[in-house]
Amino acid sequence: MPHGATDPANLPPSRIREMIRTVILSHDADPRLRSLRQALLDLHKALVDSERVGYEATVGPIASPHHFLRLLSGDPWFAWLQPLSRLIVTLDETLDRRIPPTAQETAEWLGQIRRLLVASEEGHGFPRSYFEALQRDPDVVFAHSRVALLLK
């Protein structure tokens, strides 16, 4: 044993658990998931900002941050954003687990994100509203591009 090193047999169990956790976390899942999480948050913000501009132009100014939060969580204008919001929350929960996602879970996440972020001129709901946001707002296009690059 190198000079100054502590014999693992003499370490308390709490220190051993801490060391194991450090090793596990240092071998985190595909770093793309963490990068994708941030890119999805940026995309979500771009979409929320874009929808806010449209809402205020159509309905009128939003009086306060509290009012805006109520609109985001319950107004039909913003309802189409909920699938992306839920996906981000669920991804956060996955990334916050003590055990990092497996390679298969990571692949499933990549597929789930790809399936959600499909814009469609036809239809309704998320695909249609996402298409419209991409058509009207360059910030949404840039944020989408960042996510798309990470999905390759």
Domain boundaries, the chain: 30-151
Three-state DSSP state, 11: coil
How is residue 40 written in tokens?
């999805």
Residue type, 70: R
112-121: average pLDDT = 97
Q: Is the pLDDT of residue 16 over 60?
A: yes
Distance CA 85, CA 20 (A): 33
* pLDDT tens track for 78-107: 999 999 999 999 999 999 998 999 999 999
Residue type, 143: A
Cα dist. 71→39, 60, 77, 112, 131 in Å?
Answer: 23, 13, 8, 27, 21
